[in-house]
Amino acid sequence: KLKGIINILVPTIVRSKIQEGKKNFTDSQGEVTVVIIELCEYDKICQKYNGKDLLDLLDKVYDGIDNYCEQYAVQKLETVGRTYVACGGLKVCESEVDPRLLGNHHTVRVSDFACSVSSFINSITLKDGKKMKIRVGIHIGEAVVGILGDTKPQFSLIGQTLYRAQDCVQHAAPGKILISQQCYFTLKSKVNNFGFNEQKIEASGQTQTCFTLHKRKNMKR
Protein backbone atom coordinates (compact mmCIF):
# COMPACT_ATOMS: atom_id res chain seq x y z
CA LYS A 1 0.00 0.00 0.00
CA LEU A 2 2.85 2.40 0.83
CA LYS A 3 4.39 1.80 -2.60
CA GLY A 4 1.03 2.56 -4.19
CA ILE A 5 0.78 5.85 -2.32
CA ILE A 6 4.28 6.84 -3.43
CA ASN A 7 3.42 5.94 -7.02
CA ILE A 8 0.38 8.25 -6.88
CA LEU A 9 2.29 11.21 -5.48
CA VAL A 10 5.57 10.91 -7.38
CA PRO A 11 5.76 9.97 -11.09
CA THR A 12 8.19 7.23 -12.17
CA ILE A 13 10.55 9.60 -13.97
CA VAL A 14 10.86 11.72 -10.83
CA ARG A 15 11.34 8.72 -8.54
CA SER A 16 14.16 7.54 -10.78
CA LYS A 17 15.89 10.92 -10.54
CA ILE A 18 15.63 10.83 -6.74
CA GLN A 19 17.12 7.34 -6.71
CA GLU A 20 19.96 8.61 -8.91
CA GLY A 21 20.67 11.27 -6.30
CA LYS A 22 19.53 14.17 -8.47
CA LYS A 23 18.15 16.62 -5.92
CA ASN A 24 16.28 19.85 -6.63
CA PHE A 25 15.23 18.47 -10.02
CA THR A 26 13.07 20.82 -12.14
CA ASP A 27 11.56 20.35 -15.58
CA SER A 28 9.41 22.61 -17.78
CA GLN A 29 6.08 20.97 -18.60
CA GLY A 30 4.73 23.42 -21.14
CA GLU A 31 0.99 24.03 -20.95
CA VAL A 32 -0.93 22.23 -18.18
CA THR A 33 -4.30 22.57 -16.45
CA VAL A 34 -4.26 23.07 -12.68
CA VAL A 35 -7.28 22.37 -10.49
CA ILE A 36 -7.61 23.35 -6.84
CA ILE A 37 -10.42 21.94 -4.69
CA GLU A 38 -11.36 23.40 -1.31
CA LEU A 39 -13.74 21.83 1.21
CA CYS A 40 -16.35 24.42 2.21
CA GLU A 41 -16.89 25.22 5.91
CA TYR A 42 -13.88 23.09 6.80
CA ASP A 43 -13.40 24.73 10.22
CA LYS A 44 -17.03 24.02 11.19
CA ILE A 45 -16.64 20.40 10.08
CA CYS A 46 -13.52 20.06 12.24
CA GLN A 47 -15.45 21.40 15.25
CA LYS A 48 -18.34 18.95 14.81
CA TYR A 49 -16.26 15.80 14.28
CA ASN A 50 -13.92 14.15 16.77
CA GLY A 51 -10.44 13.11 15.66
CA LYS A 52 -11.25 9.62 14.35
CA ASP A 53 -14.55 10.62 12.72
CA LEU A 54 -12.84 13.56 11.03
CA LEU A 55 -10.04 11.33 9.79
CA ASP A 56 -12.56 8.81 8.45
CA LEU A 57 -14.49 11.57 6.67
CA LEU A 58 -11.40 13.10 5.08
CA ASP A 59 -10.16 9.65 4.09
CA LYS A 60 -13.47 9.00 2.33
CA VAL A 61 -13.33 12.37 0.59
CA TYR A 62 -9.72 12.25 -0.57
CA ASP A 63 -9.80 8.56 -1.46
CA GLY A 64 -12.81 9.28 -3.66
CA ILE A 65 -11.04 12.20 -5.34
CA ASP A 66 -7.96 10.02 -5.86
CA ASN A 67 -10.13 7.51 -7.71
CA TYR A 68 -11.41 10.24 -10.02
CA CYS A 69 -7.81 11.33 -10.65
CA GLU A 70 -7.11 7.85 -11.95
CA GLN A 71 -10.32 7.77 -14.00
CA TYR A 72 -9.58 11.05 -15.78
CA ALA A 73 -5.76 10.78 -15.96
CA VAL A 74 -5.21 13.72 -13.62
CA GLN A 75 -2.10 13.85 -11.40
CA LYS A 76 -2.59 14.46 -7.70
CA LEU A 77 -0.03 16.96 -6.38
CA GLU A 78 -0.87 17.49 -2.72
CA THR A 79 -3.51 17.72 -0.01
CA VAL A 80 -3.24 20.23 2.82
CA GLY A 81 -6.18 20.25 5.22
CA ARG A 82 -9.13 21.58 3.26
CA THR A 83 -7.26 21.83 -0.05
CA TYR A 84 -6.60 19.27 -2.79
CA VAL A 85 -4.34 20.22 -5.72
CA ALA A 86 -4.11 18.26 -8.97
CA CYS A 87 -2.99 18.81 -12.55
CA GLY A 88 -3.66 17.52 -16.05
CA GLY A 89 -1.20 17.57 -18.93
CA LEU A 90 2.02 16.93 -16.99
CA LYS A 91 4.40 15.26 -19.43
CA VAL A 92 6.28 13.51 -16.62
CA CYS A 93 3.03 11.81 -15.61
CA GLU A 94 1.13 11.19 -18.82
CA SER A 95 3.85 8.98 -20.25
CA GLU A 96 2.69 6.42 -17.65
CA VAL A 97 -1.04 6.74 -18.37
CA ASP A 98 -3.12 4.38 -20.51
CA PRO A 99 -3.22 6.15 -23.92
CA ARG A 100 -6.96 5.53 -24.13
CA LEU A 101 -7.44 7.99 -21.27
CA LEU A 102 -5.56 10.73 -23.11
CA GLY A 103 -8.00 11.08 -26.02
CA ASN A 104 -9.33 14.37 -24.63
CA HIS A 105 -7.34 17.56 -24.07
CA HIS A 106 -6.16 17.92 -20.47
CA THR A 107 -8.43 20.92 -19.84
CA VAL A 108 -11.42 18.81 -20.87
CA ARG A 109 -10.31 15.95 -18.64
CA VAL A 110 -9.71 18.24 -15.66
CA SER A 111 -13.12 19.88 -16.16
CA ASP A 112 -14.84 16.49 -16.35
CA PHE A 113 -12.88 15.49 -13.25
CA ALA A 114 -14.02 18.60 -11.37
CA CYS A 115 -17.68 18.01 -12.27
CA SER A 116 -17.52 14.38 -11.15
CA VAL A 117 -15.78 15.29 -7.89
CA SER A 118 -18.34 18.01 -7.17
CA SER A 119 -21.20 15.52 -7.62
CA PHE A 120 -19.42 12.96 -5.45
CA ILE A 121 -18.80 15.43 -2.62
CA ASN A 122 -22.40 16.64 -2.76
CA SER A 123 -23.53 13.04 -2.17
CA ILE A 124 -21.89 13.06 1.28
CA THR A 125 -24.20 14.02 4.15
CA LEU A 126 -22.61 15.62 7.21
CA LYS A 127 -23.63 15.11 10.85
CA ASP A 128 -25.85 18.20 10.78
CA GLY A 129 -27.79 16.78 7.83
CA LYS A 130 -26.31 19.19 5.31
CA LYS A 131 -24.67 18.08 2.09
CA MET A 132 -20.92 18.54 1.90
CA LYS A 133 -19.78 21.10 -0.67
CA ILE A 134 -16.57 22.15 -2.36
CA ARG A 135 -15.43 25.13 -4.37
CA VAL A 136 -13.14 24.56 -7.35
CA GLY A 137 -10.74 26.74 -9.35
CA ILE A 138 -9.17 25.79 -12.70
CA HIS A 139 -6.58 27.53 -14.89
CA ILE A 140 -4.49 26.54 -17.91
CA GLY A 141 -0.97 27.83 -18.46
CA GLU A 142 2.76 27.15 -18.44
CA ALA A 143 4.25 25.34 -15.46
CA VAL A 144 7.44 23.81 -14.10
CA VAL A 145 7.56 20.74 -11.86
CA GLY A 146 10.36 19.64 -9.61
CA ILE A 147 11.57 18.08 -6.41
CA LEU A 148 12.07 20.73 -3.74
CA GLY A 149 13.85 20.24 -0.44
CA ASP A 150 16.61 17.91 0.73
CA THR A 151 15.41 16.71 4.14
CA LYS A 152 11.80 16.12 3.07
CA PRO A 153 11.77 16.26 -0.74
CA GLN A 154 8.39 17.04 -2.29
CA PHE A 155 7.11 16.85 -5.87
CA SER A 156 5.82 20.38 -6.55
CA LEU A 157 4.29 22.51 -9.28
CA ILE A 158 5.84 25.95 -9.73
CA GLY A 159 4.62 29.00 -11.62
CA GLN A 160 1.92 31.63 -12.10
CA THR A 161 -0.54 29.01 -13.36
CA LEU A 162 -0.91 27.72 -9.80
CA TYR A 163 -1.57 31.23 -8.49
CA ARG A 164 -4.22 31.89 -11.14
CA ALA A 165 -5.99 28.67 -10.16
CA GLN A 166 -5.84 29.90 -6.54
CA ASP A 167 -7.48 33.17 -7.61
CA CYS A 168 -10.31 31.18 -9.19
CA VAL A 169 -10.95 28.93 -6.19
CA GLN A 170 -10.87 31.87 -3.78
CA HIS A 171 -13.66 33.58 -5.74
CA ALA A 172 -15.74 30.46 -6.42
CA ALA A 173 -19.05 30.19 -4.58
CA PRO A 174 -19.72 27.06 -2.50
CA GLY A 175 -20.67 24.18 -4.77
CA LYS A 176 -19.35 25.98 -7.86
CA ILE A 177 -16.48 25.47 -10.30
CA LEU A 178 -14.80 28.70 -11.44
CA ILE A 179 -12.50 28.59 -14.46
CA SER A 180 -10.23 31.21 -16.01
CA GLN A 181 -10.95 32.83 -19.36
CA GLN A 182 -8.13 30.78 -20.90
CA CYS A 183 -9.85 27.57 -19.79
CA TYR A 184 -13.13 28.85 -21.19
CA PHE A 185 -11.65 29.46 -24.64
CA THR A 186 -9.95 26.06 -24.62
CA LEU A 187 -13.14 24.21 -23.68
CA LYS A 188 -15.24 26.12 -26.22
CA SER A 189 -12.81 25.07 -28.96
CA LYS A 190 -12.75 21.39 -27.92
CA VAL A 191 -16.21 20.26 -26.75
CA ASN A 192 -19.81 21.44 -26.41
CA ASN A 193 -20.97 19.60 -23.30
CA PHE A 194 -20.25 22.35 -20.76
CA GLY A 195 -22.28 25.40 -19.84
CA PHE A 196 -20.78 28.69 -18.64
CA ASN A 197 -21.77 31.84 -16.76
CA GLU A 198 -19.45 34.84 -16.88
CA GLN A 199 -18.15 36.24 -13.59
CA LYS A 200 -15.82 39.19 -12.97
CA ILE A 201 -13.33 38.88 -10.12
CA GLU A 202 -10.76 41.21 -8.56
CA ALA A 203 -7.42 39.39 -8.27
CA SER A 204 -3.75 40.32 -8.47
CA GLY A 205 -4.71 43.99 -8.52
CA GLN A 206 -6.91 43.79 -11.62
CA THR A 207 -10.33 42.76 -12.86
CA GLN A 208 -10.33 39.32 -14.47
CA THR A 209 -13.01 37.55 -16.48
CA CYS A 210 -13.81 34.05 -15.25
CA PHE A 211 -16.66 31.62 -15.81
CA THR A 212 -18.61 29.26 -13.60
CA LEU A 213 -18.67 25.82 -15.21
CA HIS A 214 -21.35 23.15 -15.23
CA LYS A 215 -21.99 19.99 -17.19
CA ARG A 216 -24.87 20.17 -19.64
CA LYS A 217 -27.37 17.35 -19.38
CA ASN A 218 -28.08 14.96 -22.25
CA MET A 219 -25.14 16.25 -24.29
CA LYS A 220 -22.69 14.06 -26.13
CA ARG A 221 -19.28 14.95 -27.49
What CATH number does residue 104 fall under? Answer: 3.30.70.1230
Determine what percent of the chain is predicted with pLDDT higher than 70: 85
25 domain residue, yes or no = no
pTM over 0.85? The answer is yes
Say whether pLDDT at 113 is over 90: yes
Residue 110 to residues 49, 71, 144, 168, 183, Cα–Cα distance (Å): 31, 11, 18, 14, 10
Q: What is the per-residue pLDDT across 142-176, written as a single tens digit (0 to 9) for each?
A: 988 877 777 666 777 888 999 999 999 999 999 99
Mean pLDDT for 195-210 is 94
What local confidence, expressed as pLDDT, does residue 2 receive?
Answer: 47
Say whether pLDDT at 201 is over 90: yes
* Domain extent at residue 138: 2-12+35-215
What is the domain count for the chain?
A: 1
In terms of pLDDT, which residue wins out, 6 or 28? 28
Say whether pLDDT at 109 is over 50: yes
